[in-house]
Amino acid sequence: MRLKDRVAIITGGANGIGRATASTFAREGAKVVVADMNEAAGQAVVDAIVATGGAASLARVNVTDPTEVQRMMENAVATYGRIDILINNAGITADARLVKMDLEQWQRVIEVNLKGVFLCGQAAARCMEMQESGGVILNAASVVALYGNFGQSNYVATKAGVIGMTKAWARELGRKKIRVNAVAPGFIATDMMKTIPDKVMATVQEKTPLGRLGDPQDIANAYLFLASDEAAFITGAVVSVDGGIVL
């Protein structure tokens, strides 16, 4: 019960890494707000947590809308009294080579993956600054932010930006007892990976020293550690959870 009675908001909490993280945090004692645009999938996660004795609620939110983000934070405080943890997990892809990428593809990914992280982080930090105990903000980066990736100018730019914001926030918020870290997943077996051709994924798996794709639970476990008191002296870090592929 490493997160007993703490309140955690998880964006993109309805599927993949977000779903695994919500379930893991609930098992560790957290009261979880599953934040997602997909109400049906999000409610299924909430129902599964409650059915096993956990505490969870659903927040339908568009992370690119500041009004909706602020309402989500206010509702969490009204329901649970505080916000201890924010997992900025929501993200999308819209891949294309540089010479083929249109402005709409670029802007859509920037809006969700960068602006959305900024808006949620800002709103959560404002709440956490008013708490004597501070809080924890964890941002989803990616290993592609560290070495680039073919056909992902927009996605790579957002994830590199997230790493930069993470370090800036860690400097700004540390004195308010707010820790800020990023997790950089490698290639994880989620629905997002289904758009990648099998031949490419086979090559990725072959080049990964551990010889497999990651599981959403691998990332959830990293989030759990960083959100817990075991990581009380870690801030401004970027933790790669990638099976060694960046080597």
Q: Which residues are known to be catalytic?
A: 155
- At residue 178, the 3 state secondary structure works out as strand
Measured between alpha carbons, how far apart are the two ends of the chain, in Å? 34
Number of CB atoms found within 10 A of residue 169's CB: 23
CA gap 88, 99 in Å, rounded: 30
CA gap 119, 79 in Å, rounded: 21
E strand intervals along the chain: 7-11, 31-36, 55-60, 85-88, 135-140, 178-185, 238-241
Rg (CA), the chain: 17
CA angle 201-207-210, nearest 5°?
A: 100
**Percentage helix, strand, coil, to 5, in the chain?**
50, 15, 30
Exposure of 146 in the CB half-sphere (CA atoms within 13 A) = 17
Residues 6 or more apart from 153 whose CB is under 8 A from it? 98, 101, 106
